[in-house]
Amino acid sequence: MKNWIRENPFCLEKSEVSFLWALRLKGLDFLPEFESRVKGKGLIAKEWVDQSKILQHDGVKGFLSHCGWNSVTESISAGVPILAMPFMAEQYLNARFVAEEIGVGLRILSRGGSVRGYVAAEEVEMKARELMGGGKVAEEVSKRVAEWGGAAHDAMKEGGSSWLTLDLLIEDVMEKSTD
């Protein structure tokens, strides 16, 4: 990811969408100049941020994510559409799920349309505009993530399916620990 950031930071700037970019990488020489150019449009956080709280803010309309499962569930639960840009492991499967199976986001593809490989800055720029632009695709993705977010919220509230399943797990563990 570090190499991608060094080579492609300007896709966010060129997309002309407002953004918060959380980075914890050192030695990114381009940042001071980049920050001055995107002032008023982009904000760069260089320390830890509470991703879940940020996603729940009303001003957040999209999330560029590597598609780790925690990030996916936090975004869906907050009702925020996802720009899926996986880097490794199960993230590719999660990105496919997000974009192709449940339709709560858009998939950023590598050059040549493959699922792995080099991601061009122009692809990120185009997909960010598509998701944030308010067109038909953005409306459909927003509608789908609202549906799934509502279902996720219902599952996690007291008496919901996740709540009940956790209760069953706790009961099972308690029974096994007394045996």
Task: Let me know: does 86 contact 66? Beta carbons within 8 Å.
Answer: yes
For 62, the 3-state DSSP assignment is: coil
Spacing of C-alpha 64 from chain mean position:
4
Task: For residue 162, give the amino acid letter.
Answer: S
Distance, in Å, from the CA atom of 58 to the CA atom of 56, rounded to the nearest integer, reads 6
Q: What DSSP letter does each residue of 90-159 carry, written as one string?
A: THHHHHHIIIIIS-SEEEPPPGGG-SSSPPPHHHHHHHHHHHHS-SHHHHHHHHHHHHHHHHHHHHHSTT
Give me the domains of the chain, ranges plus CATH numbers.
2-148 (3.40.50.2000)
Given pLDDT bands bounded at 50, 70 and 90, which one contains residue 177? confident
pLDDT in tens, 76-111: 999 999 999 998 889 999 999 999 999 999 999 887
Q: What is the pTM of this model?
A: 0.80
